[in-house]
């Protein structure tokens, strides 16, 4: 499990796309799981969870397009 002290979508996206599946925690945002190279929406999600998943998955798609 990787812990991020700051929420930087690009840095989180790089981590998720490299490891492909696992778990991570972002201070102030909560815990997340990722699978198949994309962040998943946690159970009992709040608005901030949906926003975080959307932002990170968009960054992952940008990284894949650039490669």
Q: Which domain holds residue 34?
A: 2-66
Domain of 39, CATH number, reads 3.30.1910.10
Return the beta strands (E) in the chain as ranges.
2-4, 22-26, 30-35, 38-40
Q: Please tell me what DSSP assigns to residue 37.
A: T
Query: What does the alpha-carbon distance between residue 16 and residue 9 come to, in Å, rounded to a whole number?
Result: 10
Per-residue pLDDT in tens (0 to 9) along the chain, 67 residues:
999 999 999 999 999 999 999 999 999 999 999 999 999 999 999 999 999 999 999 999 999 998 7
This prediction's pTM = 0.92
Question: Count of domains in the chain?
Answer: 1
């Amino acid at each position: 499990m990787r812990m991020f002290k700051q929420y930087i979508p690009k840095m989180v996206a790089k981590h998720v796309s490299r490891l492909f599946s696992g778990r991570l925690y972002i201070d102030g945002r909560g815990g997340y799981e990722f699978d198949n190279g994309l962040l998943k929406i946690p159970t009992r999600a709040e608005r901030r969870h949906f926003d975080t998943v959307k932002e990170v998955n968009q960054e992952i798609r940008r990284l894949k397009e650039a490669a």
